[in-house]
Chains A and B, each alone.
Chain A
Amino acid sequence: MECVVQGIIESQNNSHYMRHNNGVRLQHVEALQILLQGLCGVPKERVRVHELCLKSGPNLGVVPSEVRLLCDLAQPTPSWTVRHVGGAMRGAGAEQISVLVRTIVESKVGHNVLRFFYSLGYKLDHELLKEGFVFRFQRGAQITVTVTSANKMPKLYATDEAVPVTPGIQLVEITAPAAAENYSEVVAAVSSFCEYLAPLLHLSKPGVSMGIVPTAAAAAASLMSNSGAKTL
């Protein structure tokens, strides 16, 4: 089980740059990074993940199924993980909270996992290259904040030729592992952490996009000036 919220933040696109009063160009993503660094006190880690989404073939399975194969390319030796994202928790209680609680099953696997699932009768639905950074820390729960841009490949598996799907926009995802006994505490921990990021971005349940925060530019400028603004 995990608790998750998502949001989007602008980056790199010229129209979304803002000018600091001493003429330094700023990015919202950089500001977010500074804020996270300050809040977590841990260094960021690089993210470079090749994600392959597979779906069951037409006749396979009582119900259609979907599985994600994640190849971590940020490490010197690529490593693979299989992930199944289950349904979200439902009911009146689940609707009242601002965090999505869903089942998740993951397993580290050998490098031949793609061949394995193809042999089982799964087909490639789509693939993405996710690039960015992640902060992992303990704050009432084991929280992971991932900031990535999604890139598509012009050719199958050609991760070196990937181009952004949504230029100028990055996805921010906050997740924390939870269990049936403690998910309400984890939800509280995630919600309270989200409040720190509120000036920069809206965080909501996946699939319920709240768009970009109007105060983001001012908040970013303030953060950058306080941290001794970096020149791009």
Chain B
Amino acid sequence: MPVKWLMHWQPNQGVTLTTQILTEACQCVESQLGGAKDGRWKTALTYYRPALREASASGDLPRELLGVALHDQLGSYYFLLRAHRLILQADSSMQALMDKLQSYKPRVVLNFEGFQYRLGDFQVRVGKCVPSSEVLRGIMMEVEYLPLSSIEKSRQILEDFFDIWQDTVKKRSLPGHFILVEPNFADYGLQDHYTPQHTAVQYATCMTQLMAAVRN
């Protein structure tokens, strides 16, 4: 599948995050870069926690398990154990199976949703991160370069796109900037050839960054 990069919005110190940033970012893609709106998208990330018979004795059980349902892989589901650097690909029925087991329970669901745009060989998605409480937790973007599946081969062109994007956003004098954090895919045993697992790992990283940004 085509290589995809995720970036997230880092607000300036002390600035409260608002949906205005999302509106501005969408306008940048549409008017400055000439992106054509191409529908909506939604990815859901679920936090599972172990259900313990004795809460005090968690032992060496993982404290969290992340489940990712990607918008472009509807029949699939991805589980991440970050502490173990492990990602498991499964069918979407795996969620029902975890429900049956009752050993890990979903606690929080974060939805990443917004609009998608087509810009030549690029597919760009701009979205907000909202938990079920609907409080805005972050703004993020997916940039996909459709002709290539090799991370290394597409690196230069995506970096160039990122630079152009940064310049475009800068002209609007918004209170913050977009950041690209590339996870170490090799830690999860993922190769240069891009797969949906790469995307799921990026969502997990992006979510951590967004939570950290909100705390700051």
Contact = CB atoms under 8 A, between A and B. Distances in A.
Contact of B53 (A61, A86, A103, A109): A61
Contacts of A106: 91, 93, 97
B202 to A, nearest CB: 18
Interface in A30-73: 56-63, 65, 67
B97 A105 contact: yes
A110 interface: yes
Contacts of A59: 52-54, 57-59, 61
Nearest to B58: A59
Contacts of B100: 65, 84, 86, 103, 105
Interface stretch (B66-74, B80-88, B148-156, B158-166): B80-88
B88 to A, nearest CB: 5
A109 B102 contact: no
B36 interface: no
A62 to B, nearest CB: 5
Please report whether the interface of chain B is mostly helix, strand, loop or mixed according to DSSP: mixed
Interface residues of B, number: 31
Contact of B90 (A56, A65, A82, A115): A82
Interface in B21-80: 50-54, 57-59, 61-62, 65, 77, 79
A49 to B, nearest CB: 18
A60 B51 contact: yes
A57 B104 CA distance: 12
A122 B159 CA distance: 43
A95 B131 CA distance: 45
A62 B51 contact: yes
Contacts of B104: 120
A110 B81 contact: no
A112 B87 CA distance: 8
A61 B97 CA distance: 14
Interface in A86-141: 86, 103, 105-110, 112-113, 115-116, 119-122
Interface residues on chain A, size class: 20 to 34
A221 to B, nearest CB: 45
Contacts of B87: 110
B103 interface: yes
Given A59-B59, A60-B61, A121-B103, A105 B50 contact: no
A103 B97 CA distance: 11
B101 A109 contact: no
B102 A119 contact: no
A113 B88 contact: yes
A128 to B, nearest CB: 20
A84 B101 contact: yes
A119 to B, nearest CB: 5
B84 A107 contact: no
A84 B86 CA distance: 22
B94 A107 contact: yes
Contacts of B102: 61-63, 65
A69 to B, nearest CB: 11
A120 B96 contact: no
A115 B86 CA distance: 8
Given A119-B84, A120-B61, A121-B50, A56 B93 contact: no
B89 interface: yes
Contacts of B94: 82, 107, 109
23 contacts: A56-B101, A56-B103, A59-B53, A59-B57, A60-B50, A61-B53, A61-B101, A65-B101, A67-B101, A82-B94, A103-B100, A105-B93, A105-B97, A105-B100, A108-B91, A109-B89, A110-B89, A113-B88, A116-B81, A120-B61, A120-B62, A120-B81, A120-B103
Interface of A: 56-63, 65, 67, 82, 84, 86, 103, 105-110, 112-113, 115-116, 119-122
Closest 3 A-B residue pairs measured CB to CB?
Answer: A61-B103, A107-B94, A107-B91
Given A82-B94, A109-B88, 11 more contacts: A56-B101, A59-B52, A59-B58, A60-B103, A61-B53, A65-B100, A107-B77, A119-B62, A120-B81, A121-B62, A121-B103
